[in-house]
C-alpha cells in the first residue's frame, strides 16, 4: 500500500526540477529489498527518499526517469506475475500506480537499458551496493567511474529543503509519534528496568504508529558515548538515561527528539547544574531560529551559553568569545547543533552533507567541534532543523586533551576529573523555520527539570 | 557486545569442518552494516549465520578463515581508531575477541588480499551485494564467475543441521520470546484494534527480549495471502487473524510460530470446522516426528489429514490417496509442511534449499504444492523443524483451477465458492527431533479451539 500526496504534487516537483535543466535525463533507481541473513529474509522495506519525493511510490524494482529534453516522466517496471499474486495478494498494476503520481509513461524494465543509450544521465550518489552494481550494468561503467551529478544534487537540495504545507503536516505527525515513544520511556524509566526493554517497546511504538524508527534508537546510560547502540544495561539509581530517538510516519517523514532523564526520578544537584546549562543552550538555540540567520550563528550562540554555564560550574574559565572561537567547548560538545530533517532524519545525507548544510557563502570549519556542524547555512521559511546541544564527559577525549594540555587557559582539568563518570546530557527538538520565526514541531515533550521530574515520578 | 558460547565450541566446529578437507581454505566474510536511506543510517546489524556458527562474533568488517592445509583459523580485521572510540565508546581489541572464540591468529584486513593469492578458496553463496563486490575484488573475478563451493555447503549443512545441547537451549529461549509475542497479540486481538498496532508491539517485544523478529512478521486478516506484510486493516468482528511470527534471541537463534484466531473471540461454526482440520493435521504432523522418518512422509500424513477433513466438510471428494499423490489438496495448501530452523528461520537458506531439505535419497517433487516442501529428508536427533499445515481460500488460485477444471474429481468447486471470502488458517510449532521422538519447543502456546477462545476472551 502506498501513502501518497495528490498526484499534482509529484508532477510539480518534477516540473520544478526539469525547469533547471535543458539536456539529459535524471535517473532514479528505487531501493530494493535488502537481505538480512539470506536472500528472501529482508529488512523492512525503505524506499529511497529522492524516489519518494519525485515519484511517491514505496515499491522496489522500479526506475523513475525525468526526461529534461522531452519534458516528461517515465516509470520502468514490471507488473506482478500470477505466482506473486498467489503468495502476495492482489497487486495494483504499475500503470494504475503511475496515474496516482501523474507519471506520463510506463515501460517494462527490459527497455531501460536501450532507453539510456547515448543519453546524458544525471543520478544521485548510490549508497546501496546492489544499486551500484545495477548502475554499472545500466551505464556500462565500473563502480569507480560512477560519478553523480553535482548539478542534480544541488537542484534536489534546493527543492527538498523547503518543506511544503503538506510535508509540514507529515512532519508534525512524525513528531507526534516521537513524542509517544519518549513519553512511554519517561513513564517506565525506573531502576531495575533494562535498557533493552525500553528500547524495544519504543521501537514497537514507532512501528505501531508509523513505519518504525527514523534511525537506530540511542537509549543508554552511557550518554557520553554519542553513537551508543548497546542496550545491555539495567537502569541504576543515580545514573542518567539519554534517549535520542525518532519515528518515520507512514509517508516516511521523520522526527528526532533527545531527552535525558535521571533514573532515580530526580536530578542530583550536580546533574541538575549541567542539565540546566544544556537546557538553556537548547532554548537559546531555538529562540534564535528565524529566516535570514545563518544556523552557524545558532550553533555559536548555543555553545556560548554552554560555555557560560560551564564557567559558572567551574569547569571552564577565561575569555568566552575566544574560548568559543577556538573550540575549547568541544571537549564537552564535540558535535554540531543540528541538521536538516525531512524524508531522512539527516535530510538528504545521501546527497552529501556539504551540499545540504553549506553553500557558496559558508564553508565547513576545520576546527574540532565546529567542523561537525551539519547545517550551517542561512535559514529560510520551510527549513526544518534539529536543535540538539549537549554536554558530555568522554573519558578518552579528556585524557587526550589533558595529556596534550590543550586549552589549559579555558578548561579546569582538575574539576573535569571529578565529572569523569558523569555520563552525558543532550536535549533535542525539531524546529520549523516560519516567515515570522519558528515553531517547535509536535506536542510539547517534557523538557525542563521540573517537567522531566514530574513525568518520571508520575 | 557479543553473546558467545564457550570458546572450545567454535574451535570444535571449525575442526570438524576442517577434518573434511585436505586442501584450500574456507573464507567467511562478515555481514556489514546495511544502509536504509543513506550510508550511515543502517538497519539493525545482522551477522551472517555461517560466520556466527564458526566464529561467533557479531561484528562487521571482519573476515574469518579456516585454513584446511595449515589446520588453523584466522581473523582478518582492524582495531578501532581513537575517533571511533569517542563516538562509539570503548571497543574490545580484535586480538581479545579472537581469544573468546579460540581463533589462532589475527591479521589486519590489508593482508587478506595477498593471503588469498594462489589459494584454493571455498566460500558460501554471497547474498549481500556489498559482499559480492568484495569477493570480486578479493578473488579477482567477475560477479558471474563467483562459484560457491558445493563441498563446503554440504559439509556446513551436515554440521549446522544437528543442533547441540547448548544450541537447543538457545532455541528454547527464542521460542519463549515467540510465545510472549503471540500471547500479547492473542490478549489484544479485539474488533477495532489495528493490525499495525499489534504488529508493532509484537516486534517491540521481540526487540525487548532478544534481537528482534526472525523474519518480517505476518499479521493479517487476509491470511489467504501467504506472504502478507501489510498491516493496514482494522480488526473486524467475524474475521480471522493469522499471525506468523518468530523471534531471534540475543545469540540469533530463531523461533517461528503461527496461530490463527477469531477476532470476535469465538470461531463461527464454519471457521471451527476448518480450524479443527488444520489443528488435526498439525498434531498428526508433530506426533509422527521421530528419527528415521522422512519428513516428506510427515507432509504426506498432514495433507492426508487435511484432505480427510476437507472431504468431511464437503470441499473435497474422491480417493484420498490418489488425491494427495496428485496434489489436489494444494488448492487449499500450496506450501510445504515445514522447514529446518536454527540460526536462520529458514535454516541455511543462503546455502540453497535443496542442500538443506533434500539429499541423494530424495529429490524435490515437480508437482504443485509438493514442490514447495522445504524439508523432505530423513529426520535425525538434533534436527529442528517447523510443522505448519494450513488451509487457505485464495480467490486467484480458485479461479485458475476452476477455469482449467483441474482436479474436478477431487474438488467440489461449487462448495469452494461459498468459502471464497473465508481467508486462511495456519497453525505452526517448532519441533526438536530427539533420540526417543520429538519435543515441541517453548512453553505451550494456546492452540486448540477452546484454548484460543479462552485466551481471547480473557
Q: Which residues contact B149 (CB under 8 A, 6 or more apart)?
A: B26, B122, B123, B124
Q: Which of A38, A193, A351 to mutate against chain B (most B CBs within 10 Å)? A: A38
**Quick one: DSSP state of residue A216?**
P
- Other Cβ atoms within 10 Å of A238 Cβ, number: 11
CA distance A35 to chain B (A): 7
- Lowest mean pLDDT: which of A120-129, B49-58, B75-84? B75-84
* Radius of gyration in angstroms for the set of CA atoms belonging to chain A, rounded to a whole number: 24
User: Please, is B227 exposed, middle or buried when counting C-beta atoms within 10 Å of its C-beta (0-12, 13-18, 19+)?
Assistant: middle
Q: Which residues of A touch B198 (CB under 8 A)?
A: 208
Angle, CA of B7, B339 and B441, to the nearest 5°: 65
pLDDT at A194: 97
pLDDT at B198: 98
Q: Which residues of A touch B188 (CB under 8 A)?
A: none
- Residue-wise pLDDT for B347-401, tens only, equals 999 999 999 999 999 999 999 999 999 999 999 999 999 999 999 999 999 999 9
Beta strands in A338-435 (DSSP E): 384-387, 390-392, 424-426, 429-433
Residue B90 clears pLDDT 90, i.e. is over it = no
Q: Quick one: CA dihedral B361, B367, B373, B379, positive or negative?
A: negative
* b/e per residue A151-178 (b: at least 16 CB within 10 A): ebbebbbebbbebeeebbebbbbbbbbb
- Residue-wise pLDDT for B161-217, tens only, equals 999 999 999 999 999 999 999 999 999 999 999 999 999 999 999 999 999 999 999
Provide the grid cell at A405.
594540555
Instruction: Give the C-alpha separation, B196 to B235, whole Å.
Output: 10
B129/A127 CB distance under 8 A? no
Task: Indicate whether this model's pTM tops 0.95.
Answer: yes
- Residue-wise pLDDT for A142-182, tens only, equals 999 999 999 999 999 999 999 999 999 999 999 999 999 99
Element (H, E) at B276: helix B269-287
B86/A38 CB distance under 8 A? no
Q: Which residues of A touch B86 (CB under 8 A)?
A: 226, 334, 394, 396-397
Q: Which residues of B touch A208 (CB under 8 A)?
A: 196-201, 204
CA distance A435 to chain B (A): 30
- Other Cβ atoms within 10 Å of B367 Cβ, number: 12
Instruction: Give the C-alpha separation, B153 to A284, whole Å.
Output: 61
Q: Which residues of chain A have pLDDT under 70?
A: 1
Beta strands in B131-231 (DSSP E): 212-213, 218-220
Q: What is the mean pLDDT of chain B?
A: 96
With cut-offs at 50, 70 and 90, classify the pLDDT of residue B1: low
What are the φ/ψ torsions at residue A449 (nearest 5 degrees)? -50, -50
- Residue-wise pLDDT for B206-255, tens only, equals 999 999 999 999 999 998 887 777 888 999 999 999 999 999 999 999 99
Half-sphere exposure of A338 (CA within 13 A, CB side): 35
CA distance B44 to chain A (A): 7
Half-sphere exposure of B436 (CA within 13 A, CB side): 1
Cell 525503505 belongs to A46
Instruction: Give the C-alpha separation, A361 to A359, whole Å.
Output: 5
pLDDT at A1: 64
Is residue A58 within 8 A of residue A352, CB to CB? The reply is: no
pLDDT at B155: 98
**Quick one: DSSP state of residue B125?**
P
- Other Cβ atoms within 10 Å of B2 Cβ, number: 15
CA distance A450 to chain B (A): 29
Amino acid at each position: 500500500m502506498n501513502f501518497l500526496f495528490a498526484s499534482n504534487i509529484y508532477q510539480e516537483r518534477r516540473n520544478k526540477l526539469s525547469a533547471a535543466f535543458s539536456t539529459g535525463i535524471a535517473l532514479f533507481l528505487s531501493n530494493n529489498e535488502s537481505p538480512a541473513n539470506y536472500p528472501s529474509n529482508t529488512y523492512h522495506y525503505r524506499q529511497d527518499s529522492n524516489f519518494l519525493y519525485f515519484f511517491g511510490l514505496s515499491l522496489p524494482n522500479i526506475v523513475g526517469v525525468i526526461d529534461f529534453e522531452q519534458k516528461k516522466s517515465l516509470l520502468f517496471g514490471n507488473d506482478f506475475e500470477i505466482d506473486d499474486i498467489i503468495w502476495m495478494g492482489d497487486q495494483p498494476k504499475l500503470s494504475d500506480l503511475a496515474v496516482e503520481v501523474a507519471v506520463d509513461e510506463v515501460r517494462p524494465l527490459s527497455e531501460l537499458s536501450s532507453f539510456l543509450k547515448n543519453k546524458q544521465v544525471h543520478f544521485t550518489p548510490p549508497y546501496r551496493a546492489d544499486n551500484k552494481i545495477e548502475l554499472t550494468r545500466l551505464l556500462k561503467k565500473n563502480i569507480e567511474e560512477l560519478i553523480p551529478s553535482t548539478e542534480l544534487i544541488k537542484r534536489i537540495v534546493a527543492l527538498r529543503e523547503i518543506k511544503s504545507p503538506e510535508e509540514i503536516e507529515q512532519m508534525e505527525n512524525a513528531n507526534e509519534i516521537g513524542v509517544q515513544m519518549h513519553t512511554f520511556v519517561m513513564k517506565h524509566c525506573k531502576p531495575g528496568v533494562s535498557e533493552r526493554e525500553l528500547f524495544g517497546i519504543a521501537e514497537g511504538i514507532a512501528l505501531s504508529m508509523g513505519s518504525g524508527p527514523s534511525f537506530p534508537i540511542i537509549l543508554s546510560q552511557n550518554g557520553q558515548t554519542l553513537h551508543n547502540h548497546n542496550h545491555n544495561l539495567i537502569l541504576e539509581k543515580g545514573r542518567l538515561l539519554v534517549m535520542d530517538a525518532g519515528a518515520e510516519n507512514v509517508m516516511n517523514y521523520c522526527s528526532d527528539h533527545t531527552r535525558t532523564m535521571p533514573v532515580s526520578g530526580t536530578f542530583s544537584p550536580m546533574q541538575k547544574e549541567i542539565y540546566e546549562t544544556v537546557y538553556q543552550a537548547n532554548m537559546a538555540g531555538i529562540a534564535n531560529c528565524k529566516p535570514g540567520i545563518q544556523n552557524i550563528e545558532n550553533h555559536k550562540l548555543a555553545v556560548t551559553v554552554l560555555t557560560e554555564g560551564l564557567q559558572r560550574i567551574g569547569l571552564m574559565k577565561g575569555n568566552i568569545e575566544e574560548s568559543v572561537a577556538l573550540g575549547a567547548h568541544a571537549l564537552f560538545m564535540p558535535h554540531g547543533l543540528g541538521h536538516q530533517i525531512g524524508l531522512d532524519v539527516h535530510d538528504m545525507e545521501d546527497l552529501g552533507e556539504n551540499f545540504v548544510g553549506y553553500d557558496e557563502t559558508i564553508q565547513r570549519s576545520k576546527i574540532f567541534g565546529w567542523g561537525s556542524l551539519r547545517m550551517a547555512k542561512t535559514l529560510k521559511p520551510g527549513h526544518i532543523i534539529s536543535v540538539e546541544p549537549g554536554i558530555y564527559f568522554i573519558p578518552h577525549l579528556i585524557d587526550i586533551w589533558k595529556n596534550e594540555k590543550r586549552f589549559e587557559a579555558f578548561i579546569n582539568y582538575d574539576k573535569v576529573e571529578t565529572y569523569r563518570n558523569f555520563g552525558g546530557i543532550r536535549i533535542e527538538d525539531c524546529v520549523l523555520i516560519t516567515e515570522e520565526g519558528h515553531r517547535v514541531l509536535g506536542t510539547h515533550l517534557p523538557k525542563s527539570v521540573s517537567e522531566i521530574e514530574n513525568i518520571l515520578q508520575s
